[in-house]
A and B are shown apart, each in its own frame.
Chain A
């Protein structure tokens, strides 16, 4: 089975910072990876699919990269609305989410 390791589990940052979240797969998943943002008490929101394709309506400060086993989600300049929990999801073999990264205000 494919395992997904997301890091860090918690990230403290300030408005305007550039932040990167990493997701590693235990075996190659090509580019079959999505990223989601979730706020407390709300459903997840799709940000990126196929590793780097930005979902319509998502601000361009969000970007995704990677292929094979290593992937990153980058927020180029943090905005107040971006403080949330982020999840990666592989969909190469069935599906599995990463453990999540909580992005906190420093």
Chain B
């Protein structure tokens, strides 16, 4: 059974940093790209980043480019999202998802809440 478990969310002040982690199990992690998708309270879904299976490719939405960095450790079956210079508008539930082959997502974690507030 595919499982994706996010962690690392919490309350952070504007301008601060946070690192999200996603632990994967139940599939050959090194064979799949991974996505991060977020959802602000009461709002829709926003794709924010993708990393290829071997970290060769990394893509970002314009809203996070230059502030967020995606990475992965295939030995640890984990994907990460380093978030710097956080803004109030980054407040959201952040989902980790296994890509289906391109940037769509077949399996999703339960999400972790990031709150940016002073």
Contact = CB atoms under 8 A, between A and B. Distances in A.
Contact of B100 (A1, A43, A49, A98): A49
Interface string A42-69: 0111100100000100000000000000
Contacts of A36: 45
B59 A97 contact: no
Contact of A99 (B44, B50, B106): B44
B104 A49 contact: yes
Interface of A: 1, 32, 34, 36, 38, 43-46, 49, 55, 87, 89, 91, 94-100
Of residues B35, B105, B106, which shows the largest number of chain A Cβ atoms within 10 Å of its Cβ? B105
A96 B60 CA distance: 11
Contacts of B104: 34, 46, 49, 89, 91, 95
Contact of B106 (A46, A87, A89): A46
Interface in B92-114: 95, 100, 102-106, 108-111
B100 to A, nearest CB: 6
Given A91-B103, A100-B44, 11 more contacts: A43-B95, A45-B108, A46-B106, A49-B104, A55-B106, A87-B44, A95-B35, A95-B59, A95-B103, A95-B104, A97-B44
A94 B100 contact: no
Interface of B: 35, 37, 44-47, 50, 59, 61-62, 95, 100, 102-106, 108-111
A46 B100 contact: yes
A96 B44 CA distance: 11
Contacts of A32: 102
Nearest to A45: B108
Contacts of B61: 94-95
